[in-house]
A and B are shown apart, each in its own frame.
Chain A
Amino acid sequence: MNEHPALPVRMKGVRGEGATKWRVKVRLCWTAKQIRRICGVNGPPDIMKIGVLLKQTPDTETKIKIKSDATGIDESDIKWVINPFDEYAVEEALRLKEASGGGEVVIVTAGVKRSVDSMRQALAMGADRGIRIDTEGVSVDNYTTALMLSKVVSQENFEVVFAGKQAVDDDGVHVAHGVSAELDWPCVWPIEHIELGADKKLVKVTRPVGGGVKEILEMQLPGIICCDKGENAPRYASLPGIMKAKSKPIAELKAADLLGGATPLVQFTHFALPPERKAGKILKGEPEQVCAELVKLLHEEAKVI
C-alpha cells in the first residue's frame, strides 16, 4: 500500500457506511502487481514493456511566424504541446498496458529542454517514466532523430513501440518508420485500433487505407505501431496524476553519445509563408439566383466543373 501514501490519512475521517464505499474505491486503485501478490499468483510478473516515441510540437492553433532571415521559424510566441498524434500513441500504450494486466510505459523523446513539459504531461496521463535525448545545440533531422531513438528502443528492449502517425510540425512521416528500418522491426501505419493477441506475440490492428477502406492487419512483435486519430479520445491527466508525474523519473541522454558521428542528410534551407489567398466574390441574391450564378462561374470562369 506504500504506493498510496495519502490513504491512511483520508481513512481516518471515514465512518460507517461511507467507510465501506471508500474501501471499495481503494481496492480499485490496486495495481495488477498487487492483486497478483495478494491472490498468491506465483511466477514472474507478466509485464509488457511498452515504448512511446513522443515529440513536442507547436499547438495546432499556432500562427507560425518566420525569422526575418528565413532560416527558421520564430519560436517566441509558441505554445508547445504533445504532438496530437503522439497523444493517441500515449493513450493506446496506456490501454495496452491495462489490457495486458500490467506493464511499463516509457516515454522516449529527442528534444530540447522544454520538451520535458510534454513528457511530464504524458507521465501525468499514466506513463511510468521517461527518457529524453538532449538535442540542445545539435543539428538534427528525421534521419538522425530516428537513429538516436532506435538506439534507445534497442537498449530498452521494448516489446512494442507506439508513435504518432506523423508530427504536425514537419509533417515528415519519417521517424517511426526510420526506427523500424534501423532495428529491422515491422511497422504498421497509420493505425486507429489495436488489440493484443492472447500470447502477446501478435498485435491485431485496424488501418484506414483511404477511400473508406479499412484493413485488419496482424503484426508480429516486437514492432512499431503508428497511431492515427481513431475512436479513442486521449485521457486527461487527473490531478493526482499530475502530482505523481512530478516525481516520476526522466533519464537524460546526450545526442552526441548516441549519434556516433552521424550527421543530418537533409537541411531546410529557406522558410517562406505560402502566398496569401485573397477573399474573392461574395455572391448575393435569392438562393435560386446565387446557385445558378455559382454554377456558371465554376463552369465558365474557374473551369473546374
Chain B
Amino acid sequence: MPGILILAEKEDGKLKKYSRELASKAVALAKSLNAPVYGVVIGNQASAAAEELGAFGVQEATAIEGPGVQSYTGDGYAKALLPLIQELKPQIILASASGMGKDILPRLAMKLKAGLATDCVELSIENGKLKAKRPIFSGKVFVDVTFLSDVQLATARPNSFAVTVVDAEKKAAVKTIQSASEGARVVVKEVKEAEKGMKDLTEADIVVAGGRALGSSENFKIIRDLADTLGATVGASRAAVDAGYISHDHQVGQTGKTVNPKLYIACGISGAIQHLTGMQSSKVIVAINKDPEAPIFSKADYGIVGDLFVLLPILTTKIKELLGK
C-alpha cells in the first residue's frame, strides 16, 4: 500500500517543532494521495514523542529504541531504519532538512534507488507523485524537482510549513522496536558542549548576527546580550568567522548555514552576496550598519544607519522593557 513515512525528531522527549511542521505537511499530502502517514522516531524515549504525532493526524508511529540507537550516528540510524522501511514499503519518505535528515535520507535514497530532493521549501502531489521546490546555489535560484523514481524522498527546510493541529488530545498508536548495538562502525566517544543552550541556526526563530565591524570576540558580547534577550541564536558573517571573532558554527551564508528565521538582525554586516543568499529567506530583516551604502540595506525591511556599539545596548534595553524582563 502506498503511504508516506516521516522521520520525526525529538528533543528532551518532545517532538521538535520542525517535525510538527513535517507531520502537518505529510498529512496534507497524504490526503491527496488517499494514503496513510506513518511516523518513526529514533532514540531513547522515542515512544513519547512518537505518540505526539497523533495530534497532527498521524495514526501509526514506530519508536526505535535500544542500545543500537542510544547516541546518534548517521550510520547506525540509517541501518536501524531500513528494516522498518522494507516492512512498510512507503511510496514517500520525508524528513526535515536538519543535521539528521540531511545525513540519513541520502543513504536511504541510494539503498532504495529512490530520487531525493533536499531542503525543500514546497512539497506537493502531482500525477500521484511528489513534486518539490527547493533552493540551489544557497538560495540564489529555486528549482522544481520532478521525480522519475517510484519511491520519492525529500527533506523539508525547517520553518517552511505551517503546523496544523488536527486534535491536540489524539495520540498515535505506537509500536516500539528495540535496536541492538552489534556491528557499529561509527561510535560516539565524547560529546562536548561548547556553548550552552544555543539553538541551531537552521532552526532558530530569531537570529542576531554580527560582522567584522564588531572588531573582536569580546565585542560579540553585545550581540549575545541582544540574542539572549530575544531568545535568539547568534549568527555571524564569514568575515567575522575568518577574523577569529567567533567559531564557524555561527557562520551564515554559502559556506556556512542557510537560515530561515522569522526575524534576522544583521549588525555590522555589509552584506556580501554569499551572506545575503544565506539569510534572504528570513521573514523580516533588520540591518544596523555605519555605512549607508552597505548592500545589506537593499534587502532589509528596517534599516538603521549608525554605530552598532551605541545602538545595540539601547535596543537590548528597549526590548527588555517590551518583554518585561
- B31 contacts the other chain (CB 8 A): no
**Quick check: B301 and A273 within 8 Å, CB to CB?**
no
**CA A114 to CA B254, docked complex, whole Å:** 23
Would you call B297 and A282 a contact (CB within 8 A)?
yes
Nearest CB on A from B95, distance (A): 12
Residue of B nearest to A228 (CB): B248
Q: What chain B residues lie within 8 Å of A220 (beta carbons)?
A: 185-186
Residues of A within 8 A of B116 (CB): 142-143, 174, 265-266
Interface assignment of B202: CB less than 8 Å from any CB of chain A: yes
* Known contacts A64-B140, A212-B195; is-contact A294 B255 (Cβ 8 Å): no
B73 touches A217 (CB 8 A): yes
Identify the closest chain B residue to A214 (Cβ).
B192
Whole-angstrom distance between the alpha carbons of A189 and B119 in the complex?
16
> For the complex, what is the distance from the CA of A208 to the CA of B250, rounded to whole Å?
11
A274 lies within 8 A of B139 (CB): yes
Q: Which A residues, 161 to 203, have Cβ-Cβ distances below 8 Å to chain B?
A: 168-175, 177-178, 180-182, 186-189, 192
Counting contact residues on chain B (CB < 8 A from A), the size range is 35 or more
Given contacts A63-B273, A64-B141, A294-B302, contact A187 B75 (CB under 8 A): yes
Binds B, one of A6-14, A90-98, A296-304: A296-304
Any chain B CB within 8 A of the CB of A18?
no
Task: Give the complex CA separation of A266 and B155 in angstroms.
Answer: 14
B256 touches A229 (CB 8 A): yes
**A26-61 interface (Cβ within 8 A of B):** 58, 60-61
Q: In the bound complex, how far is the Cα of B136 from the Cα of A62, in angstroms? A: 13
Report yes or no: A170 in contact with B286, Cβ–Cβ below 8 A: no
**How many angstroms between the C-alpha atoms of A180 and B200 in the bound complex?**
26
Q: Do residues A280 and B198 form an inter-chain contact, with CB atoms below 8 A?
A: no
Residue numbers in A under 8 Å from B322 (CB-CB): 295, 299, 305
Please, what's the 1-or-0 string for A277-305, where 1 marks a CB less than 8 Å from any CB in chain B?
10111111001101110110111001011
A71 → chain B closest CB, angstroms? 10
Assembled-state Cα–Cα distance A270/B54 (Å): 36
A59 CB to closest chain B CB (Å) equals 10
B160 within 8 Å of A (CB atoms) = no
Residue tally, chain A, CB below 8 Å to B? 82
Judge whether B302 and A279 touch: CB under 8 Å. no
B302 touches A298 (CB 8 A): yes
Within 8 A of B (CB), among A205-233: 208-220, 223, 228-230
Complex Cα gap A263–B115 (Å): 11
**Chain A positions within 8 Å of B300 at CB level:** 279-280
A281 touches B148 (CB 8 A): no
Q: Is B209 an interface residue (CB 8 A)?
A: no
Residue in chain B with minimal CB distance to A176: B106
What would 15 more interface pairs be, CB under 8 Å, given A177-B107, A290-B306, A298-B284? A60-B254, A64-B140, A171-B137, A173-B118, A174-B109, A175-B106, A186-B185, A210-B202, A213-B191, A265-B149, A266-B115, A266-B116, A269-B143, A270-B143, A291-B315
Interface residues of B (CB under 8 A from A): 73-75, 78, 99, 102-103, 106-111, 113-119, 135-149, 185-202, 206, 230, 248-249, 251, 254-256, 258, 262-263, 272-274, 280-281, 283-286, 292, 297-306, 310-311, 314-315, 318-319, 322-323
Jot down 29 A-B pairs with beta carbons below 8 A, ordered by A: A60-B138, A63-B273, A73-B137, A168-B254, A170-B136, A171-B118, A171-B258, A177-B110, A189-B74, A204-B189, A212-B193, A212-B194, A213-B192, A215-B190, A266-B147, A266-B148, A268-B136, A280-B285, A281-B303, A282-B297, A282-B303, A283-B304, A291-B314, A294-B304, A298-B263, A298-B302, A302-B301, A304-B263, A305-B323
Question: When A and B form their complex, which 9 residue pairs have the shortest distance between CB atoms, in order from nearest?
Answer: A212-B195, A210-B200, A265-B115, A177-B106, A181-B110, A280-B301, A186-B185, A266-B115, A216-B190
Residue numbers of A with Cβ under 8 A of B are: 58, 60-64, 66, 73, 84-85, 141-143, 146, 168-175, 177-178, 180-182, 186-189, 192, 204, 208-220, 223, 228-230, 263-274, 277, 279-284, 287-288, 290-292, 294-295, 297-299, 302, 304-305
